[in-house]
Amino acid sequence: MRLFTCLVVFSSLLVAQSHQTNNVILFTADGLRWQDLFTGIDATLMNQKEASMKDAKERRDRYWRATPEDRRSQLMPFFWNELASRGAIYGNVTKGSSMTVTNAFRVSYPGYAEMLTGHAQDAVIDGNVDFQNPSETVLEFARQKLKLDRSQVALFASWNAFLHIGESKPGTITINAGYQAFDGTPRMRDLSRGQFLALSPWDEERHDYFTFEMAMEYLKAVKPRVLFISFDETDDWAHDKRYDRVLDSIHYLDQCLRELFATLDAMPEYKGSTSVIVTTDHGRGSKLDDWSDHGKKVAGAEQVWMAIAGPDTPARGEMTNAPEIHQRDIAPTILDLLGIDPAGMKGVAGSPVQVKRNQ
Ligand SMILES: [Zn+2]
């Protein structure tokens, strides 16, 4: 009997110790296809004038290799050579791992809302609507549950729509999205000025460079517990049928991930206590005539992917022959990682993925 009690106490200590996440960073790349993430430069597109690849010999030479594994490592060396060995990567349908969106629209607002609220809201968010998210987001809920100051939950996004996607009650969290000034350190003020000088080709999305640099400056200065960094150029260049620039944007994302992890590992507030989730809002087509597009009618646009790395995620690398997971699982996963019961958040239909103590 005494031995039994000891075992119970010992195992509950193990359970308590196994939860080490104190901070969560969510990083998204809009409409980044699983095809490019898992198999690298696409043979269907890489010689095509219609994909702006006719004169892109330098990119073909740089990224083309004989196998999908070698191609993806050329395109995303940090992601595949380092991040993958620190966590789990879902969504390679060619290896029996599928992650899909459950919203019917397969465009951005419904996708981000699904990942942030834990459920699809098809009746209200039926496209890229321009009104406030009607449901509380995981960012708002985590702030309330952890009793955090508004500055401790922050969102930096290239797309201005995040001003209403990120929160249901304006002002609950810190949001900087699209072309929007932000104050802070001298470097933050320089970056804030720079975004209005080095303009992207689009009115609603600033360059990802400014989003990333501003988010990193905020991370170092304010040390938020929850940070969401959202890139957009992988989607924008694809719509413009510039596969050459899509490749550049994916490669840039990889460099940013390297810098993010190096920064986290160098800061005592984050080292060993931070979980990072990298994902996308929707897929897109796989053929020459639909790769640039997505939405309800585009075959395969429901396929997405996700990487999780951190102290509570077993290092399994690329998942193979795994049960299907969904975009709506992201919000409950974030809560579970932070030690908050996802059942307490209204409307959540997904389930937490890949946390040690659930196994
Ligand atoms: Zn799009």
CB 275 within 8 A of CB 309: yes
CB 331 within 8 A of CB 349: no
Distance 271 CA to ligand 1 centre (A): 34
For residues 69 and 64, what is the distance between their CA atoms, to the nearest angstrom?
Answer: 11
Given a cut of 60, whether residue 281 has pLDDT beyond it is yes
Distance 46 CA to ligand 1 centre (A): 21
* Of 230, 228, 274, 227, residue with least CA distance to 87: 274
Q: What is the pLDDT of residues 182-212, one digit of tens each?
A: 999 999 999 999 999 999 999 999 999 999 9
Distance 284 CA to ligand 1 centre (A): 9
Phi, psi of 176 (to 5 degrees): -130, 115
Which run of H or E residues covers position 226? strand 226-231
Check residue 6 and give its pLDDT: 54
Coil, strand or helix at 345: coil
For residues 37 and 72, what is the distance between their CA atoms, to the nearest angstrom?
Answer: 7
Distance 101 CA to ligand 1 centre (A): 15
Looking up tokens 């629209």, which residue turns up? Answer: 105
What tokens does 286 get?
Answer: 């796989």
For residues 126 and 104, what is the distance between their CA atoms, to the nearest angstrom?
Answer: 8
- Which amino acid is residue 92, in one-letter code? N
Distance 241 CA to ligand 1 centre (A): 12
Beta-bridged to residue 128, according to DSSP, are: none
Work out the widest C-alpha separation in the chain, in whole angstroms.
76
Bridge pairing between strands 306-309 and 87-90: antiparallel
For residues 359 and 356, what is the distance between their CA atoms, to the nearest angstrom?
Answer: 6
For residues 158 and 329, what is the distance between their CA atoms, to the nearest angstrom?
Answer: 24
Distance 164 CA to ligand 1 centre (A): 17
pLDDT band at 355 (very low <50, low <70, confident <90, very high): low
Check residue 204 and give its pLDDT: 98
Distance 296 CA to ligand 1 centre (A): 12
Check residue 21 and give its pLDDT: 97
Distance 145 CA to ligand 1 centre (A): 33
For residues 216 and 224, what is the distance between their CA atoms, to the nearest angstrom?
Answer: 11
How does the average pLDDT of the chain come out, rounded? Answer: 94
- Which amino acid is residue 301, in one-letter code? A
Q: What share of the chain is helix, strand, coil (3-state, %, to 5)?
A: 40, 15, 45
Q: What is the pLDDT of residues 102-111, one digit of tens each?
A: 999 999 999 9
| Torsion of the alpha carbons at 318, 74, 67 and 42, rounded to the nearest 10 | 100
Phi, psi of 274 (to 5 degrees): -125, 130
Q: What is the pLDDT of residues 253-273, one digit of tens each?
A: 999 999 999 999 999 999 999
Q: What is the pLDDT of residues 6-65, one digit of tens each?
A: 555 555 455 445 589 999 999 999 999 999 999 999 999 999 999 999 999 999 999 999
Check residue 357 and give its pLDDT: 43
Distance 236 CA to ligand 1 centre (A): 7
For residues 51 and 239, what is the distance between their CA atoms, to the nearest angstrom?
Answer: 10
Distance 32 CA to ligand 1 centre (A): 10
| Between residues 91 and 15, the one the model is more confident about | 91
Q: What is the pLDDT of residues 282-316, one digit of tens each?
A: 999 999 999 999 999 999 999 999 999 999 999 99
CB 328 within 8 A of CB 102: yes
